[in-house]
Copies of this chain bind each other. A is one copy, B any other.
Amino acid sequence: MNTAGRTAKSAFPVEGAAHDELALFTDLYELTMLQAYYHEKMEEDAVFSLFSRRLPEQRKFLLACGLDTVLTAVENLHFNDESLSFLKSTGKFSREFLDALRGFRFTGDIRAVPEGTPVFADEPILEVIAPLPQAQLIETFVMNQVHLQTVLASKASRMVSAAQGRTVVDFGSRRMHGIDAALKAARAFYIAGVDSTSNVLAGKHYDVPVSGTMAHSYIQAHEDELSAFRAFADLYPRTVLLVDTYDTIAGIHKVIALADTLGNAFQISAVRLDSGDLLALSRKARQVMDTAGLNKVEIFASGGLDEQSIAQLLSSGAPINGFGVGTGMGVSSDAPALDMAYKLCEYAGKGRLKLSTGKPVLPGQKQIFRREENGRDIGDTIGRAKEDLPGRPLLETVMHKGRRLDTATKDLKEIRSHARKQTDRLPSSARQIVKEGPFYPVKVSEALSDFQQEVTKRVSS
């Protein structure tokens, strides 16, 4: 078994047991095609590109994410006895083929943009160059992970942008789509600039800062709100108190009463508003607290927030210091999926594409060249991999002959910092959360365009 203990643990916090079964996390047709390739001896190198055909109307760029999970999985991919027994039990596979699967390992290369890099429609996030069956088998898993993590990082980037430097905390575990999503999300959000997560397990596995306040149930379980505040502050002097269980402003007055009782021992850092008109309530809360001398107590808001409501609150001057964001970010509610595809674009040295209506493919290995001017990125060219075009190339080799390159193992803080720098370099119109405005220009190089026409001509004949 091809073990890579170094990274296996961090990438599979919850799929550990299934790590041995991950080869079965695939669409059945991948395996039936593999059997056909095996019998037809079609094992020459193929190139597959992973890209989004178009961006959702509400996204101006995508923040690439998920590569680390992919590399760990692919490096360790194999069929264990139990998996092979199951495949045998389906009656769909020959003994000869199942024997061949027993020795299956991924021996190819992967080229990818680093995690935290902004990408646009048609731009490859990664390309897999490997014997056809190997590159085919990993399709489902690679897409599942890069899609999920890119969807979430891209959404979170908008939240961070809307919050204009104020704290953003991930509260979404309870409504994200399952355990894997919630954990991967905490990591993707952190890469995109979110400050911390409420998910303890994510904190343990990814070393993302963990934070939290208190729930309504704690207040409700006490005989009255002030007793609850007092008891919690006693144990956690610098905590955030949730004030909207019964009446927000009455709750604020109880915080003031607590301050009066505690005197210098009062160290509450913030109050949290979780319902109602957050603009009006934050203003009133600020005013009431300031009048009482609690100028240092911050206001933290939560409750159904998304980037639009955060932007609107701040542009209206809401005195809010931080945001807890749950569902909107956690399921990327306005765009929960991307039109992402993993497409064969070369086999046995020949460019390949399909002509299905509305689903064009750029053939062959490609490169993205990002051009800059005065420190700002101004436009991309998608070219053929070996072209030498103006701009910095974004795709790097991250796996060679089935082994992850050392340069492809990055510290999470480093990825976060890369994401910030790369996002900051985009034109301001691409960073705005509004739909309007000019889109970032992406063109296809002449050589690639010619090659596409040439392949189209060949396959149409």
Contacts and interface: CB of A to CB of B under 8 A. Distances in A.
A212 B33 CA distance: 10
Given A24-B201, A46-B221, A175 B143 contact: yes
A246 interface: yes
Contacts of A36: 218, 231-232, 235-236
A139 interface: yes
A357 B31 contact: no
Given A16-B17, A327-B337, A354-B246, A200 B25 contact: yes
A40 B211 CA distance: 22
A174 B247 contact: no
A145 interface: yes
A408 interface: no
Interface string A335-371: 0111010111001100011111111000000000000
A12 B17 contact: yes
A459 B246 contact: yes
A213 B92 CA distance: 13
Nearest to A143: B174
Interface residues of A, number: 111
A14 B200 CA distance: 19
A191 to B, nearest CB: 16
A228 to B, nearest CB: 9
A389 to B, nearest CB: 27
A12 B221 CA distance: 33
A400 interface: no
A203 B83 CA distance: 11
A296 B18 CA distance: 41
Contact of A180 (B178, B213, B330): B178
A274 interface: yes
Contact of A337 (B90, B333, B357): B333
Contact of A27 (B16, B31, B200): B200
Interface string A4-38: 00000000111111110110111111111101110
A282 interface: no
Given A201-B24, A204-B21, A275 B358 contact: yes
A252 interface: no
A458 to B, nearest CB: 10
A140 interface: yes
A186 to B, nearest CB: 11
Task: Please provide the 4 A-B residue pairs with the shortest distance between their CB atoms, ordered closest to farther.
Answer: A16-B17, A178-B180, A28-B212, A177-B177
